[in-house]
Structure 1
Amino acid sequence: MTDTLQLEKTLWQAADKLRNNMDAAEYKHVVLGLIFLKYISDAFDEHYRYLKSIEAETGADPEDKDEYTADKIFYVPPSARWKWLQGRAKLPTIGKDIDDAMDAIEKDNPSLKGVLPKDYARPALDKQRLGELIDLIGSITLSKNGSGKGKDVLGFVFEYFLGQFADAEGKKGGQFYTPQSIVKLLVEMLSPEAEKRVYDGACGSGGMFVQSEDFIEIHEHRKGKISIFGQESNPTTYKLAKMNLAIRGIDAKIELGDTLMNDKFPELKVDYVIANPPFNVSDYNINKAETHKWKYGIPPTGNANYAWLQHFVSKLAPYGTAGIVLANGSMSSEIATEGQIRKELIEADLVDCMVALPSQLFYNTQISACLWFLARNKEGNSKLRNRNHEVLFIDARELGTMISRKQRELTDIDIFKVAETYHNWRSPELFTKDYQDVPGFCKSANIQEVRKNNYILTPGRYIDFKAVEDDGVAFEEKMQNLTATLAEQMQKANELDEAIKNNLAKIGFKING
C-alpha cells in the first residue's frame, strides 16, 4: 500500500505540472478520462492474451466482442487500444484520436453510452502536454504475472485523483467527493454483508460503494456480491461515478436525476443506506405525492436535511440500517417542522446512534458535521442487543490528525475506536466486549433522557464530562504555588520595566510618570 501511495503522489505531482493554466475542474475530466481509458484497455489486453493462448485449442476468437462481454470486460476496438493511442501521442491529431476512441468504446459498450469525456480535440487543450500526460499514465502497467494488480493500482490512482481534485477545486470540488476516512468510518460502522442491497441517493462519485465492496472483500473474501443502487443529480458527477465503479469492476445501477423530486427507484427497499447528501440545501423541492416518505412531517422549505432523512428512512427494508452525514445543526434545529420531525423519528425508535465528528474533515466546508445512524425494527432484531428506545451518543470531536494546514483525517485507530464502540453497544455477535459508557466519549441514553432534552440529539447533551486526573496535590497548595508564580512573574516584569526606563534615560529620552 505504501508503494501504491507513493506512485499516486508521484503521478499527481507529474500530472499537475502538465495542467499549465487549465482550471482544475476542467483538467479533472482530461486526466480521469485517460485513466479510465487505460484501465479498460489493460483489462481488454489481459483477456485478449488469454484468448490467444487458448485459440488453437478451443477456437476462441480474440476479436469477438461476446468473448469479453460474457466475462464483464469492456470490448475495446483496435483504434481505441492504449498501445495504438500511445504510439500517436506526439502527433498533433492526438486529441481527435482520443475523442474518436471514446466514441468507439461507447458504441461497442452500451453501458458506457454518454459517460466518457469527449472533448480532447478542443484548441484550448495543449496537445504536447496531452501527449506527455498519455505517456505518464502509460507508465502504469499490469503485473507481469497476469494477476491483474495493475488494474487495482489504476483504481487506487483514480480514487486518489478524485480526492486531489476535490482539494484543488475547493468548495466546488468537494460537492462530488466525501473524504475517504469518513466513508471508511460509515462503512465500518454499518459493516455491510454480502448478498445485500446498498443504496445512496446522493452518490457523488461513488466512493461509498467502492469502500463497501472493499469491506466485503476484506472481511468475507468475496467481491461483486452486493447489489448497488445509486442516484446523482449532477450529470458530470454521475459520469464520474459510472467510471469510478467501472474501473473497480463494480456492477451498479446508477441513475441520473433529482432524488427528492424524481426518485428513480420508487419501490426499492435496501438493507443499507450510506450517504452524504449536500449540507443545508435551501433550493430544493420534494415530490409531495410520495406521502409514504413524509409521514413524520413535511420538511421545511429552505433546508433539505429532514427531507433527506425521511427519504432514506423510506428506503430501509425491515431490519435495514442507514449511515448518513449531515450538518451538526440537524441534531438540534427547531426551524419550522424540523424539531417535530426529529421527535417523530425518535419516538418511532428509528434513531440508533449519533456521532459528532471533528472539524476540518471536508474539502468544501468548515461546517461541523455529524453522523446519523438509523435502524428499523430494533426491538424485533434477534441479532442485536435489546436496545429498543435507546440511542448511543459518541463524541469524536477530539479524534483525527491534521494531514495539511487545513485538512484533518480520521486515522484507522480512530475509525476502529468509534466502530468498535458502536458494535459493542449494538451487536454481541460481532464483538464480544461488553459496552460501557466512557466519560467524554460515549453514552447510551434511553428515551426518557432524550425527552428531557427536548429531543435534541447533540452528543454533548448526554455524555458525562471527562474527569480530570488527580495529581495528588491539594487545592490549597496549588493556589499557593500559583500565587507565588504570579508574584515572581510580576517582579521580573517590574525589573525589566525599570531597566528599560534607565536605558532610555541614558540616551536622552525623558520618561513621564
Structure 2
Amino acid sequence: MDGRDFSDDRLLSRAELAALAGVMRPAVTNWQRRYEDYPEPVRAGESELFSLRAVLGWLDSRRIPSRARASDEPPGFTYADRMRRNIDASDRVRRSAALPNGEASSDALLGDEEQRARQLARLLGPMADVVRGGASMTDYVALLLSLVFLRMTGDPRSTSLPRTTRVRSKAATAALLQEIGEAADEALRLRGVAPGMQTAIVKLEPREYGDIVEVIRLTDGLGIEEFRQLVDEFGTRAGLPSGEFFTPRPVVRLMRDAAMDDESTVHQVYDPYVRAGEMLDGVAERLGGVVPLTLHGESPQRGTLMLAGMNLSLHTVPVELGAGTPAPWNERGWPKGHEADLILTNPPFNARGAVSRPREGIDWPYGAPPPGSPALAWLQHVLVSLKDEGRAAVVMPVSAGASTDVREREIRGRLVEDGVVECIVALPPQLFSGAQVSVSLWFLRRSTSVCEEILFVDARDLGDKAARGPRVLSDEHVEAVTDTVQTWRRSTGFRLGRQGAGHLAVAAPLDAVRAAGYSLSPADYVDRWMSTASPADAATEASTTRRTLDAARHRTKAVDEVADALSYGPLPSSVPLSYDGLPRNWCRVPLGELVDITAGPSYSRLSADVRSPTGDLCVVMPKHLREGRIDDRAMEKVAADVARALTKFRLSPGDILCVRSGAQTSPALVEEAQDGWLFSTNLLRLRTRETAGEPLVLPRYLHAYLCLPETVHWLKEYARGTAVPSLSAATLALLPVPLPPVAHQRRVSATLGALDAQIAAHRSLVGAATRHRSTLAAHLLTGVLVPE
C-alpha cells in the first residue's frame, strides 16, 4: 500500500490477525481450514501462532468485497493492505506513547475486545447461577440487557448504580433490582416502546447484595456487539414458539447484502414482523451514518418488541416501532402508498388463527391464498409495501415454492409473470435455534422491467454443525452466496453450476419455470446443473478426477510393493515355549504396569457450552474413534483459554484412546496431526511409560494388540456391569498384554504398519475411482462428454 517492507516476522494469534484484518475471528479459522496454501501455524506452548509476514503474503491476493470495504478503501484494496494500514496506525500509537522497549503490543488492538469477551463469559457462566436463584435464565439476561442498554444510551441513572460492595440487607438487594428495572422501563417509555423489564428483573434471587454489584461492574465497557450476543442468548433461552424464533445473524447478513443493489438508494427500511429487531439492526450496522436512514418495524409480540426497541435505540438512526397485528392485511388492508426502499423480514408462516384465515373481501394483488397458508399472504403484503424499484428479502417455508395447491401455484405464476421474483436461495436445515425446519430466502423487487430469468441457489450443504445447537453459516458461506447473487445481478462473470464454498446456482429462463409448473424450489433446477456444463468444463473436471485416480493408483502400487516384500514364518522348534504358549523370552504384563491411564475431564469442565464448530483446539469424543484411528470430521473445538485449564488432558503422538463410557470400539492411536488436542469425558488415555529412556512397550505394538478382536471382546465383557457400558481405569489396568523384547516389537509394528498403509491406500483408490466414475457418468449421460 505504501511501499513499506514488512519484513518483521512477528507471531500473532488468530484473534490478533482478525483484528488487524478487520474481520471476525471465525473468518481466520475458516481461511486456515478451507485453503490448503494458508500459512502453517507455529505451536507456542498451548497456543498456535502465525507468521505475520507469511499471512500478509497470502492475503495480498485476497481483495476485500465491495460491501465490506470502508469508505476510504478503493476498489482492489486487499486484506493485506488493510492489515498494513492498521499496523502503521498501531505503530504510531506506540511511538506516541513512547514505549521503552519499542515492541509491538497487541493489547492496543485486542485488549478491550478480549476483556469484554471474558466479562461476558463470566456473566453468562458463574454469575448466572448465583444471581438468578430460582428465576429463569431469561429473567437474568433481562438484567444484563437493561444494564448494557442504560449505559450505552447514556442514561444518568446508570452512573449512580453502586460500584462497591458493602454488606446490605435483603431488602436493599430487592430495592437495587427494582431501581434497575424502573430505569430500563423509563428509558423504553421515552423511546415509545412498551416497558416490561422490571417485571422480569425483580424475579431474581441473588445470594448477596454484592452479587448484583459484581454484575454491574462486569457490564461496564460492554458494547453493541455484546448486547447482540445477549439478545441471541435471550432468544435461545426463552423457549419461544417456532413462529417467534429470532433470525440468526448470518442469515440477516446474507439477506441484507444480497438484497441491496445500490446502497445509496436505501433510505426507508421496513420489517413488518420485527421480532427482536435483528433485521433492522443489521441494516443500521451497515448503513448507519453512511446514508440518511429511517427504520420502521411492527410486531404483535410485546415482549420481543421491547427487545427490538432496546436493540435499535443503540443506533443513531431514526426508528419507528409499532405494535402491529398478527395479520396486517386483515385489519388495515393494503398500505396506501409504496414507502419502503428495502424490506427484510421473517414472518410467522406457520401461525394460526387470523393470520392463516384471511378475511373475505380483500383485493389480493396476486390472488387469495388458501386458508392455513399465510406465507404467500405475507409475501403480498411485502410487495405492496415496496416503492417502485424497491427490493425485499423474505424468509419463506420450502412449501411456499413447491406446494401443489392450485391457488398457491396460481399466485406463484402471477408473481413470476409480473417479474417480481429475482432469486430463491435454499438454506440448510437447523439454522434456527430449536427448529429443524428448512427455509428459503425469496429476493423480490418492484420494477417496470421484467427479468427474463430467475436465479436459483442451492445452499443446503453449507453451514457448520456442532453436536449440540443450531447449524451456523460461516462468514465465508455468507460472502460466497452473496457474491453469487450480486454477480448474477450484474451479469458479469456469472457461471452456472457449482460455486465457491460448495453451493450450486442456476439462472433458469422463465420458459423453464413455466414448464416446471411455476415451481420456485431451487431443487427442481439446480439438480440438473450438470446438463448445462460446457464441454470444456466437463472435460476439465473429468481430467481432474482422472489425475486424482492416477495418483491414488501410483501410491497403491508403492505400498503393495512394500507389503509384498514382507516375509514371516513359524517360530523355530528350538525356541522353548512357556506354559501359556508364549516364547520363553516373552511375558504377560498387566496393562497398568506399562502405561499411565488417565480418565477424561469431568463434564462440568468440558461441557457443551464451551464447545463449538469454531475454536482453537479439537476435542476427541467416542464417536471419533473409528477403525483404530481418529476421524477428524465434524469435530467440536474449544478456545485456547478453555484449553489452558485442561492441560492435563492434552494428547501427544503415540497416546492411545479407549472408550470409557458407551459402546466399546477399537481404540485409536494419536498421530502427529492430533498433537495437543483434548480428549473428552467418556474416553481413557493410555500413555506408555519409559525406563532408562526406553519405552516399556511401543505405542504401535500396544495399539495393534488392543485392536485384536479378542482384546476388544475382553473390553466389552468388562464394560457390561451397568446399564450404560462403562470401563474404569482400574479395570483396564488389569488387561494382560503379551510383551516380547522391544526389538521384536519394532519388527511386529513395522510389518503391521505396512499392511495398514496398504489398506489405507486401497481405500483411497476405491474412493478416487468412485468419484471419477460419478463425474464421467454425469457428463456421459447428458451428452456433454462422448466416449471415444
TM norm. shorter chain > 0.5: yes
**Quick one: distance in 2 between partners of 1:125 and 1:10?**
18
2:198 corresponding residue in structure 1: 118
Match of 2:161 in 1: 84
Give the secondary-structure state (helix, strand or coil) at the position aligned to 2:121: helix
Partner of 2:249: 180
CA distance in 1: counterparts of 2:429 and 2:201, whole angstroms: 42
Show CA shifts across 1:109-161 (max 9, x none).
63256325123674x521436752442243343xxxxxxxx4xx422112101
User: How do 1:230-309 and structure 2 match up within 5 A?
Assistant: 230-260=297-327, 261-263=330-332, 266-267=335-336, 269-285=339-355, 288=359, 291-292=362-363, 294-309=364-379
CA RMSD after TM alignment: 3.4
- CA separation in 1, counterparts of 2:484 and 2:420? 19
Question: Counterpart of 1:81 in 2: which secondary structure?
Answer: helix
| 2:143 counterpart of 1:30 | yes
The amino acid across from 2:367 in the alignment is G
TM-score (norm 2): 0.48
Superposition map of 1:367-446 within 5 A = 367-377=437-447, 379=449, 388-427=451-490, 433-439=492-498, 441-446=504-509
Instruction: Indicate the structure whose relative CO is greater, using CA pairs within 8 Å and at least 6 residues apart.
Output: 1
Equivalents in 1 of 2:210, 2:335: separation in Å? Answer: 46
Unpaired segments of 5 or more residues in structure 1? 45-75, 142-149, 380-386, 482-498, 501-513
Corresponding residue SS for 1:255: strand
Residue matched to 1:128: 207
What's the TM-score, normalizing by structure 1?
A: 0.72
What is the DSSP-based 3-state SS (H/G/I as helix, E as strand, rest coil) of the residue aligned with 1:231?
A: strand
Q: Taking structure 1 as reference, are residues 338 and 5 closer, same or farther at Cα in structure 2, changes over 3 Å only?
A: farther
Distance across 2 between alignment mates of 1:206 and 1:359: 23
Query: Of 217, 222, 225, which residue of structure 2 is paired with 1:138?
Result: 217
Find the residue that maps to 2:517 and give its secondary structure.
coil
Change (3 A) 1:205 1:87: same
Match status 1:164 vs 2:233: yes
1:200 maps to 2:277:
no
Specify the alignment match of 2:405 in structure 1: 335
Q: Tell whether the 8 Å contact from 2:295 to 2:318 is kept in structure 1 after alignment.
A: yes
CA deviation after TM superposition for structure 1 residue 378, in Å: 5.8
The 3-state SS of whatever aligns with 2:140 is: helix
- Contact 1:357–1:370 (CA<8 Å) still a contact in 2? yes
Describe the SS at the equivalent of 2:198: coil
Overall identity of the aligned pairs, in %: 25
Paired with 2:371 and 2:478, the residues of 1 have a C-alpha distance of 35
- Structure 2 counterpart SS, 1:359: coil
- Max Rg structure: 2
- Equivalents in 2 of 1:419, 1:362: separation in Å? 20
Cα distance in 1 for partners of 2:522, 2:324 equals 35
Counterpart of 1:84 in 2: which secondary structure?
coil
Q: 1:188 to 1:104 in 2, by over 3 A?
A: closer
Where does residue 494 of structure 1 map in the other structure? none
Inter-partner Cα distance in structure 2 for 1:251 and 1:264:
26
Q: Which residue of 2 aligns with 1:65?
A: none
CA distance in 2, matches of 1:372, 1:391: 11
Q: Relative to structure 1, is the Cα distance of residues 284 and 212 closer, same or farther in structure 2, using a 3 angstrom cutoff?
A: same
Letter paired with 1:472: R
Q: CA deviation at 1:450?
A: 0.2
Q: Is the 8 Å Cα contact of residues 272 and 316 (structure 1) preserved in structure 2?
A: yes
1:451 aligned partner, one-letter code: R
Find the aligned partners of 1:174 and 1:301 in 2 and give their Cα distance: 17
Maintained 8 Å contact 1:107/1:113: no
The 1:5–1:403 alpha-carbon spacing in structure 2 relative to 1, beyond 3 Å, is: farther
**How big is the shift at 1:314?**
0.8
Number of positions where the alignment pairs a residue of Structure 1 with one of Structure 2: 419
2:755 counterpart residue number: none
Distance 1:389 1:408 in 2: 34
Q: Shift of residue 389 of structure 1?
A: 2.9
Q: How does 1:7-156 map to 2 (within 5 A)?
A: 7-18=119-130, 19-40=132-153, 43-44=154-155, 76=156, 80-86=157-163, 90-91=168-169, 92-100=171-179, 102-103=181-182, 110-112=190-192, 114-119=194-199, 122=202, 124-128=203-207, 132-141=211-220, 150=221, 153-156=222-225
Q: 1:389–1:329: structure 2 CA closer, same or farther, 3 Å change rule?
A: same
Partner of 2:422: 352
Secondary structure at 1:352 match in 2: strand
Structure 2 unaligned segments of length 5 or more: list them. 1-23, 26-113, 531-537, 557-708, 711-788
Q: Give the deviation of 1:229 after TM superposition.
A: 0.7
- Closer/same/farther in 2, CA of residues 229 and 93 from structure 1, 3 Å limit: same
Rounded to whole Å, the distance in 1 between the matches of 2:514 and 2:134 is 57
Q: Secondary structure at the match of 2:207?
A: helix
Structure 2 counterparts to residues 491-502 of structure 1, below 5 A: none
Q: State how far apart, in whole Å, the 2-side matches of 1:265 and 1:88 are.
A: 57
Any idea what the Cα deviations from partners look like across 1:397-422, whole Å, max 9, x if unmatched? 11111245332111111111111111
Question: In structure 2, do the counterparts of structure 1 residues 317 and 88 end up closer, same or farther at CA, with 3 Å as the change threshold?
Answer: farther
Q: Secondary structure at the match of 2:223?
A: helix
Displacement, 1:300?
A: 1.7
Give per-residue Cα distances to partners, 1:281-300, cap 9 Å, x unaligned: 233337658845x1211122
| CA deviation map 1:50-97 (0-9, x unaligned) | xxxxxxxxxxxxxxxxxxxxxxxxxx3xxx334334468855334334
